[in-house]
Amino acid sequence: MVGGGLANMIGINTCGGQAGAGGEGGFTNTHSINFDGVNDYMEVTPYASLDGATSFSISFWIYPVEDTFTRYALLLDSTTTPIKFIYRGNTKQMDMSITTTGFFARTSNGSVPLNQWTHVVWTFDGSQGNRYDKYQVYINGQLNSFADAGSNETALGNFTSLDLGIFLTSAFEGGFDEFAIYKNTILSQADADTIYNSGVPNDLNNNGLTAPTNWWRFEEGSGTSVADSGSAGDNGTLINGTTFSTNVPT
Ligand SMILES: [Ca+2]
Ligand SMILES: [Ca+2]
C-alpha cells in the first residue's frame, strides 16, 4: 500500500464509513443509462430547480463510445442563458458553456477517453469576476487544466427544461450514470475526490458532503421513468427508446 493510496483510503473511510460504504447502508449501483447517438435523451420538463442560483456544481460519470462527431451531452435550457455540455469525440474533451454564443471552458485533450467511465465534476462560482476563477473542472477527482475562448458570458436565467443526451439533432452516443446537480454549492477538489471514490460511485446523500439537489441514478432498469434521488424530486422521462444498461463504473 503506497502512501498516497493510504491517505486517500483514510479520507474515504472517514467521509463514507458511517453510511453507504461498501454497501453497508444499502447503497448499490447496478444500472446506468445508454443513448443511441441517434435520437435518445432524457427530458426533465419543466425544470426550475436551478432558478436563482448564484453557483452550482454538476457531477456525473460518462462513457462515450463514438469519436467522429462533436455531440451535445446536456442542455439546461433557459429563458436567457442555456447551460450546455458538449463532448468532442475527436479530441476526447468536454466543453461547458453558459452563454448563447462564444464562451466555453474545456477539459484537457484526451481527458475523457472512449469506452471507459470517466468521472466529471464542473463547478460554477458566479461571485468570481474573472472567468478563469468562475469555472473549475475535476476529472476523476483531480483538477483538470482547461482552455477557454470568448468572453461574452451572461448571467444565469430562469430554466425551462433539462435534456440529457441531445441538443437539437446532435445526439450523444454512450452512457451516463449517477448524474447530480448541486444548487448554490461549489464542490472542492477534495469533494470531487470523495465522489469519485477511486472509481466506485457512492451514496451522494450519505458521503459527508452536501446532498445534491438532483440525482438521477438510473437504477430503474426498465420503463421510461427516472426517479430523482436528490432533494428536488425532478423525475425524468426517457425519450425515443433510451435504454438502461448494466454497464456501470466499478
Ligand atoms: Ca446508477
Ligand atoms: Ca432511439
Mean of per-residue pLDDT scores for the chain? 86
- The rounded Å distance from CA 30 to ligand 1 centre is 6
For residue 239, the ligand closest to its alpha carbon is 2
How much distance in Å is there from the Cα of 86 to the middle of ligand 1? 21
Q: How many angstroms does the Cα of residue 177 sit away from the middle of ligand 1? A: 5
Query: How remote is the CA of residue 38 from the centroid of ligand 2, in Å?
Result: 6
How confident is the model over 134-146, as pLDDT tens digits?
A: 888 999 999 997 6
**35 Cα to the center of ligand 1, angstroms:** 14
Facing residues of 249 across strands? none
Could you say which residues of the chain have pLDDT below 50? 1-23
Dig out the grid coordinates for 168 from the structure. 437539437
Pairing of strands 170-171, 93-98: unpaired
79 CA from centroid of ligand 1 (Å): 31
Domains belonging to the chain, first-starting first, are 30-245 (2.60.120.200)
Pair 31, 154: CB distance under 8 Å: no
What is the pLDDT, as a whole number, of residue 93?
92
Ligand 2 mean position to 63 CA, how many Å?
17
pLDDT at 71: 84
- The strand pair at 146-149 and 32-36 is best described as unpaired
Ion ligand 2, residue ranges at CB < 5 A: 36, 39-40, 240-241
69 CA distance to ligand 1 middle (Å): 26
Cα(4) to ligand 1 centroid in Å equals 28
Structure-block grid coordinates of residue 100: 448563447
- What is the DSSP track for the chain? --HHHHHHHHHHHHHHTTTTGGGTTS-----EEEEESSS-EEEE-S--TTTT-SEEEEEEEEEE---SSEEEEEEEEESS--EEEEEETTTTEEEEEESSSS-EEEEPTTSS-TTS-EEEEEEEETT-SSHHHHEEEEETTEE--EEEE---------EEEEEESEETTEE-EEEEEEEEEEET----HHHHHHHHGGG----TTSSSSPPPSEEE-----SSSEE-B-SSS---EEEETT-EEES----
pTM above 0.85?
yes
Residue 10 has a pLDDT of 38
Ligand 1 centre to CA of 179 (Å) is 8
**What integer pLDDT is reported at residue 102 of this predicted model?**
60
Could you give the C-alpha distances from 72 to 39, 55, 84, 94, in angstroms and in order? Answer: 12, 22, 7, 10
CA–centroid distance, residue 221 to ligand 1 (Å)? 9
103 CA from centroid of ligand 1 (Å): 31
